[in-house]
A = this chain, B = another copy of it.
Amino acid sequence: MKYSFISAEEAAASIHNGNTIGIGGFSSVGTPKAVPAALAVYAEKLHSEGKEFKVGLITGGATGSQVDSALVQAHAVAFRTPFQSNKEMRNAINAGEVQYYDVHLSQIGQDVRYGFLGDIDVAIVEASDITEEGDIVLSTSVGISPTLIQVAHKVIIELNEAHASKLTGMHDIYIPDAPPYRREIPIYRVNDRAGSISVRVNPEKVVGVVRTNERDRIAAFTPLNDTTSRIGQNVADFLLGEYQRGAIPREFLPLQSGVGNIANAVLGALGADKKLPAFSMYTEVIQNSVIDLMMQERIRFVAGSSLTLSDDRLDMLYDNIDVMKERVLLRPQEITNHPEMIRRLGIIAVNTALEADIFGNVNSTHVLGSKMMNGIGGSADFARNAYLSIFTTPSTAKDGLISSIVPHVSHVDSTEHDVRILVTEQGVADLRGKSPSQRARCIIENCAHPDYKELLWDYLKLSEGKGCHTPMSLRNALKMHIAFAETGDMRNTKFEM
C-alpha cells in the first residue's frame, strides 16, 4: 500500500472551517461512509466549544444519509451543489440554512475544473481497490470523483473492502481536456471504452486511507401500482408505434431512463414487449430493473454512472461478474450526460416531471414554485439533446388534490422547446410540430385527469379569447396553484373571467 492508513477521525481533522469539500459518489452509492460521519461529530464538537465550523459540499449527485443527513444535522453545511434527495438536506435548503445551487449534472464537473466554484480544499472518495501504483479504483459509482481527485488540494480515500477486487475493470474514466483546442469524446457506440479503469492521484495530496467495509444502503422503491404500470405501458406502446412506422431505426436507439418507480415501470414494459428488439442503455443511474432485464437478455449493454442496486441485485451482478464486465460500464456523469454523446448516439430519454403545463413546459424541481424537492439532476441534459425526449408524470398527485397538468407551471426546468412527448397514465401527447394552442388541446385531451379536464378547457377558452400565439391569462395562470395553497384542493379553482 502506497499510502498510510489513518482513522476517519484523523481524516476529518484535516478539514477546516470554510473549506469546500468534494464528496465522491453518485445517486447515493459509492459515497464515502466513515469520514463524513466523523466530520459531523468533529463539527458538533467544535460547535460545542463555541467555534464556527461549516463547509461547502460539492458532490456528483445524491449522497446517502451518511453524508447529507449527518452533516446537516450537525449544522456543518453552508453551501450545497448540484443535487440532493435527502430529507434533512431538503429541509435545511428550504429553511434557508443551506444555500443550494441546482445545476445540470453534466456541467458540475467542468464547472469545478473551470474554477467557477472556487477551490476544492478536500476531496473524499470511496475506492474499491488501490493499485500498486497508488491509482484509485472507484467503487459502485463514478460521479465527478475523477475531477475532484484531479483538482482538490487534499484527497482522503475510503477503501471499502466490501467491494474488494470485484469492480476492477468496470470503470471507464475519461475527463475531457480544457477548451478551446480539444478532440471529440471518443465514444461512438454505447460500449466503446474511452479511458482508463482507475484514477491517478498525485500521492503528495493523499491525506491517508480510511478502511471501511460496508455496502451502500439504497432506499427501497414502493411496488408498482396501477398508475405507474399504465404510464410504463403508454411509453412502451408509443415507442413501439414509432418503431413500427420507421421513425426509430431498426437497431432501436439507446435508452436513458430516470430514477424511481416510473422508470422501473417504463423499463419493465419495454422489456416485456417482445415486438421491440433487445436494446442498450446510455443512462445516468443503473437501477435494479436494468439488471433484471440484462439477465433476461432484453438489455444488451448498459453504461451509467452508478450501480444503484439493492443487495440482491448487486449479488446477482457479482455472481456473474465476468460476463457483466463485458456488459456494464461505469463512467463519469460528465460523459454519461454529455450533450455531445446524447446527441451523437440518438438517445431516447425518459424522465419524470413534477408537473407539466398545457404547453409542454416541465417543472422537475419546485413544489408550488418555491419548495425545492431534489434538483434538476440530469433530466435536462438528456431531454435537451435527445433524439426523442419523453416526460412522464401521474396526471394527479396527493390523491387527486393536485393536478400535475396545469395552465402554467410554477417553475420551469425543461422548456416547451425540449419536451417532445408527454405521458401520463391517461395517455400520450405527441407535441412535435404543434403550436401552443394545438399542444394545449392535445395535452388536455390525452394527459389530464378527468377531474381536471373541464377546468383546463375553461382556462384555455378564456385565454384564447385574447387571440395570441400562446393562450395565457396573467390573472389566472397560477390560480390552480393558489387554490391548492389556500384550500388544499386544486379542484376549488375559480378563474376570473
Show the binding face of A for B, using Cβ within 8 Å. Answer: 79, 81, 93-96, 99-104, 111, 114-118, 178-185, 188-190, 246-247, 249, 251-254, 338-340, 343-346, 361, 366, 368-372, 376, 380, 384-385, 387, 408, 410-417, 432-435, 437-438, 463-464, 466-472, 474-475, 477-478, 481-482, 485
Given contacts A81-B433, A178-B249, A370-B472, 13 further A-B pairs with CB under 8 A are A96-B437, A100-B435, A116-B433, A179-B345, A339-B339, A340-B344, A369-B408, A369-B472, A371-B468, A384-B384, A412-B412, A412-B415, A414-B415
Counted per complex, copies of this chain come to 2
User: How far, in whole Å, are A413 and B384 apart by their CA atoms in the complex?
Assistant: 12
A114 to B102, CA, bound (A): 33
Given contacts A101-B433, A412-B412, A415-B380, contact A346 B253 (CB under 8 A): no
A114 contacts B387, C-beta separation under 8 Å: yes
Name 15 interchain pairs, CB-CB below 8 A, sorted by A: A94-B469, A95-B467, A111-B432, A117-B433, A179-B344, A180-B253, A180-B254, A180-B345, A184-B185, A184-B188, A369-B477, A370-B466, A370-B468, A412-B415, A478-B478
On chain B, the residues within 8 Å of A433 by CB distance are 79, 81, 101, 116-118
B184 contacts A344, CB within 8 Å?
A: yes
- Contacting pair B102 A417 (CB below 8 A): yes
Q: State how many angstroms separate the Cβ of A108 from the closest Cβ of chain B.
A: 11
The interface residues of chain B lying within 8 Å CB-to-CB of A95 are 467
Residues of A contacting B: mostly: loop
CB neighbours (8 Å) of A470 from chain B are 366, 369-370, 372, 411
A230 to chain B, nearest CB (A): 25
Complex Cα gap A211–B275 (Å): 52
Give complex CA distance A408, B370 in Å: 12
Of the listed residues A115, A346, A380, the one surrounded by the most CB atoms of chain B closer than 10 A to its CB is A346
Complex Cα–Cα for A95 and B471 (A): 11
Cα distance A260–B189 when bound, in Å? 41
Q: Are A432 and B116 in contact (CB under 8 A)?
A: yes
User: Does B188 lie within 8 Å of A474, measured CB to CB?
Assistant: no
User: A468 to B94, Cβ gap below 8 A?
Assistant: yes
A434: chain B residues at CB < 8 Å are: 99, 101
For the complex of A and B, 3 pairs with smallest distance between CB atoms: A179-B346, A184-B184, A372-B469
Q: Which listed residue, B181, B416, B482, touches A188 by the CB 8 Å rule?
A: B181
Q: Out of B368, B385, B432, which one reaches A117, CB within 8 Å?
A: B432
Q: Which of B111, B180, B251, B366 contacts A251 (CB 8 A)?
A: B180
